[in-house]
Structure 1
Amino acid sequence: MELDNYSTREKKDAEVGFIKKEKFDPFTERKVENPTTDGETLTHLLKASLGTGILSMGCAFRSSGLALGIISTILIGFISTYCAYILVKCAHILYHKCHKTQMSYADIAEAALAVGPKPFRKFAKLLRVIVDLGLFCIYYGACVACTVIVAKNFKQILDFHEIHYNNEFIPLSWIIVVLLIPIILLTLIQDLKYLAPVSTIANGLMFGGLTIIFIWLVTELFGKDLIHQKGFNWIGIDENKSLSLSWYSKYSETFAITIFAMAAIGVVMPLENKMKTPKNFLGPVGILSKGMIFVTIIYMIAGILAYLKDPIATTDVITLEMPMDGTFLTSFMAQAARILISLSVFSSYCLCLFVCLEIIWNLIKNNFTDNPKRANYILKLILAVASVMLAFFFPNVIAILGIIGAFFLSILGLLVPVIIETITYWEDDNHRVLRALKNIVIAIVALNALYFGALA
């Protein structure tokens, strides 16, 4: 990335763009083909944030107790959103410093160090590589995971209805191969703006699936003594000396599940870069704030209801608690929830692949100046087919992807944004002490997330 020379002596006001005594407004200068509206951006943000992690919130609450689970969800939601906020805020400052109208996460990481204090500049390229590698591993892994999760859910339904081929249950690998057809069709969508209807449909499917789950959970709560049922705790879990379980011993699962379920750090810059009005992304009532407040509330409700339904359940996801062999209504709800949520998760594939595509394309696009659109599509097709092949040959890859996600999401979702903010505001920072203390706290949370994620 080429950066314009930037001198602090020439800086008048980075926020309004007085650089080199020349007014520059990156938002009016930005030229985007098919920009997205605020509503479309919010739709994409919700789709990126409402994933399969919400189905594990019951497991998160069972590892912490009801009150501690609620508090943890709120605090972790706030910290995750705040780190995404400071990343975009620093991007808006660096747009002015570098005379850029758009930047990816990796661009921001490199630019912050490259135009920052001299001791940090030699690490600019290294930080860019870390961000690119981390984002690619997280979101390409998510593409593979989406394929496996959807295939497994549909296999459960097919097996329940005893659909056979040559007197045998249909293999999981066959279902994964069939999924390649809709995946290729989804890759035909080349622009985020045209992906908005897919995200809207996916959000509708997710809300439909969650509504069924919530209705089932609420009906299961009728007539129960919720507070006095076995295993209920406001804080922590039941201690068991024979198993060496203390009240806080499983809190690592709560921390890990919640922070990784709500992370959307990889999509905030692609979404902001495509906006018609990027300034509306931030602010108390901006796109980011509204979207993440809603997401936090939904995650919290899911955790509360799943916990109250059964505080000692051992299942990882709530859909597995919904019996398909019960009454007709219960069986129908269980199958409908699985289908709706599977289709919604499958739609997440597009956004995850878009992030991966942007990372690889930025590395190679200068080699395809003659026909960039065709080259871009071929690359997207290769990435899509390769992800299905990985799912086909390694259907149990999700456990490994979880460890990779825990490692990189801790670093990219929490630690790198505070590093970028510290360096971006290094010069002429009137709140250096407070900012340093705040960022140290977030860094400690990031290191705990890394440890708890690996532990869980």
Structure 2
Amino acid sequence: MRAKLIPDHVPIVRKNGISATYNLINFVNGMIGPGCFSVAMAFKQGGLWTSFFLVFFIGTVSTISMHKIVRCSQLLARILGDQSLDYGEMAAAAFRNSFPAIHKYGKAAQFFVNGCLIFFQVGVASILAYFDVDNPFSDKVMLLLYGVPATVINMLKDIRAVTFTCLVGNIFIFAAIGLILEELMTSKHIWQELPWITSFDSVVMCAGSLLYSFEGQAMVLPLENKLKHPRDMNGWTGVLTTGMAFVTIIYTYCGFYGYITYGNAVDGSITLNLPDNTVNIVVKILLVFVVFFGNVLQIYVIAEMIWPPVKKRLEKGETSKFLAVDRRLRGSIDMLGLAVAVPNLQQIIPFIGITAGMLLSLIIPAVLDVVVFLPPKLADGESKLRISLFLAEDVFLFVVGLFFLVSGLQSNVKSMMHS
């Protein structure tokens, strides 16, 4: 590996970075959206107590994998002189700074990771766009009413402006969650009548749905790159651990109480089960604003990933040209998300989660962790026991991810064929 340009004992400080608090606001907004209301459907797929366990299991392994991504990026940033690396760039740098035999696969790793990211993020944005409210307007009118202002707000490039929209989105989503949980917790519960576990295929689809709900894999590095003190992302009280613990608890409440309230009648989103009383109409209106403001971060992540290679192809010095192309790019991404919005949430959510979500959250982080950290461990002469424990953790994540990927694809294909 190349000599470190920034020593380990020297903390990295970015002059124009944002604080851990702002970063946590962005992270929570990206993690908690209308998708949290689909967790009850995952409980229906897996069974009450099986799904209850899976929420914490998926939340824990997702947190571990996110930490691996961040640690790999921070080590490579020191090696490369504190460059800001997105997920794809980090994958390329990992291969190019590892064993000589895999240096040539850096570009292929970057393309593969970026492909998974685009598929996952566009899928998330599309499903966000579909979480609709019963309305008297046609689809074309609703597309204009939502699409035009959404495209305008998605032109935001400054992370502080994005943080403000995330803060507004958080206010709306927590207001909606509070009203829905009050409705669910005061309703009649039928948990005694519900199965503890369902079939193998359904449990695997449950894992895919839950993994989709923990949709933060793509935004971890873009957010870490904007931190003033990158070390604030890690640790027991860092942005990742704090945010994921909070999100896991919210998901558990929404999924558990949604399922024991509506049972097997629960829809793809529990908002579709709500009766049309005044409170629930307010909830649905709040969710329109949640989708509007929450989609900003999803588009921001995709644009930040696609823009650098596009920028390199443009002529240097033409600022107005850069600005025009950047605006078109962000608008095109937003319109693509609306164009592919799909109504069949019970099939598309597990499919996205079990494919791109499983690769990004478990399989790829495990591979990159070995690629980045194994060479220096061998070079430093670490004991065989410590190296074995290090490899065992990554092998476990890889095997779990591969198992759910293969079995999940099989289950989803069966489900789609039957439909």
Question: What is the letter of the counterpart of residue 337 of structure 1?
Answer: V
Q: Contact between 2:126 and 2:341, CA under 8 Å: does it hold in 1?
A: no
Question: What is the letter of the counterpart of residue 444 of structure 1?
Answer: V
Structure 2 counterpart of 1:167: none
Equivalent residue of 2:265, what SS? coil
What is the count of residue pairs matched by the alignment? 402
Larger relative helix fraction: 2
Structure 2 counterpart of 1:236: 197
Deviation at 1:401, TM superposition (A): 7.9
Query: How big is each residue's C-alpha offset from its partner over 1:13-44, in whole Å with a ceiling of 9 and x where there is no partner?
Result: x9x726xxxx8x4713x453xx2211110000
1:208 is aligned, of 175, 183, 188, to 175
State the TM-score, normalizing by the size of structure 2. 0.88
1:412 is aligned, of 351, 354, 360, to 360
Q: Does 1:194 align with 2:141?
A: no
Q: Contact between 2:46 and 2:203, CA under 8 Å: does it hold in 1?
A: yes
Q: Does 1:323 align with 2:275?
A: yes
Mapped partners of 1:393, 1:261: distance in 2? 19
Structure 1 counterpart of 2:12: 27
2:232 is aligned, of 280, 301, 310, to 280
1:339 is aligned, of 265, 285, 289, to 285
Q: Contact between 1:357 and 1:380, CA under 8 Å: does it hold in 2?
A: no
* Structure possessing the higher radius of gyration over alpha carbons: 1
Structure 1 counterpart of 2:72: 90
Equivalent residue of 1:263, what SS? coil
Deviation at 1:352, TM superposition (A): 1.2
Q: How does 1:400-439 map to 2 (within 5 A)?
A: 403-404=351-352, 406-429=354-377, 430=382, 431-439=386-394
Q: Does 1:43 align with 2:43?
A: no
Mapped partners of 1:303, 1:428: distance in 2? 43
Q: Contact between 1:26 and 1:101, CA under 8 Å: does it hold in 2?
A: no
Deviation at 1:204, TM superposition (A): 0.9
Mapped partners of 1:213, 1:427: distance in 2? 50
Q: Does 1:384 align with 2:342?
A: no
Q: How does 1:76-225 map to 2 (within 5 A)?
A: 76-149=58-131, 152-153=132-133, 156=134, 158-159=135-136, 170-221=137-188
Mapped partners of 1:113, 1:45: distance in 2? 28
Deviation at 1:442, TM superposition (A): 0.6
Question: What is the letter of the counterpart of residue 23 of structure 2?
Answer: T
Q: Which stretch shows the higher mean deviation, 176-185 or 379-388? A: 379-388
Alpha-carbon distance change, 405 to 296 in structure 1, aligned in 2, over 3 angstroms: closer
Query: How big is each residue's C-alpha offset from its partner over 1:104-161, in whole Å with a ceiling of 9 and x where there is no partner?
Result: 1112111111010112212111001111122122223333333333xx32xx1x23xx
Alpha-carbon distance change, 346 to 405 in structure 1, aligned in 2, over 3 angstroms: farther
Mapped partners of 1:449, 1:254: distance in 2? 10
Alpha-carbon distance change, 249 to 136 in structure 1, aligned in 2, over 3 angstroms: closer
Q: Contact between 2:147 and 2:335, CA under 8 Å: does it hold in 1?
A: yes
Mapped partners of 2:112, 2:320: distance in 1? 27
Mapped partners of 2:160, 2:308: distance in 1? 20
Structure 2 counterpart of 1:17: 7
Alpha-carbon distance change, 370 to 364 in structure 1, aligned in 2, over 3 angstroms: same
Task: Provide structure 1 residue ranges, at least 5 long, that are not aligned to the other structure.
Answer: 1-5, 160-169, 238-245, 325-330
Structure 2 counterpart of 1:313: 265
Structure 1 counterpart of 2:405: 450
Q: Contact between 1:147 and 1:176, CA under 8 Å: does it hold in 2?
A: no
Query: How big is each residue's C-alpha offset from its partner over 1:176-224, in whole Å with a ceiling of 9 and x where there is no partner?
Result: 1222321233134221111111101101111111111111111213xx5
Query: How big is each residue's C-alpha offset from its partner over 1:280-319, in whole Å with a ceiling of 9 and x where there is no partner?
Result: 1110100111000000000011111112213322422111
Question: What is the letter of the counterpart of residue 364 of structure 1?
Answer: V
Q: Percent of aligned positions with the same letter in both sequences?
A: 21
Mapped partners of 1:204, 1:350: distance in 2? 15
Q: Contact between 2:299 and 2:333, CA under 8 Å: does it hold in 1?
A: no
Q: Contact between 1:144 and 1:388, CA under 8 Å: does it hold in 2?
A: no
Question: What is the letter of the counterpart of residue 58 of structure 1?
Answer: A
Question: What is the letter of the counterpart of residue 374 of structure 2?
Answer: W
Mapped partners of 2:343, 2:258: distance in 1? 26
Q: Contact between 2:29 and 2:169, CA under 8 Å: does it hold in 1?
A: yes
Q: Does 1:369 align with 2:316?
A: yes
Q: How does 1:293-312 map to 2 (within 5 A)?
A: 293-312=245-264
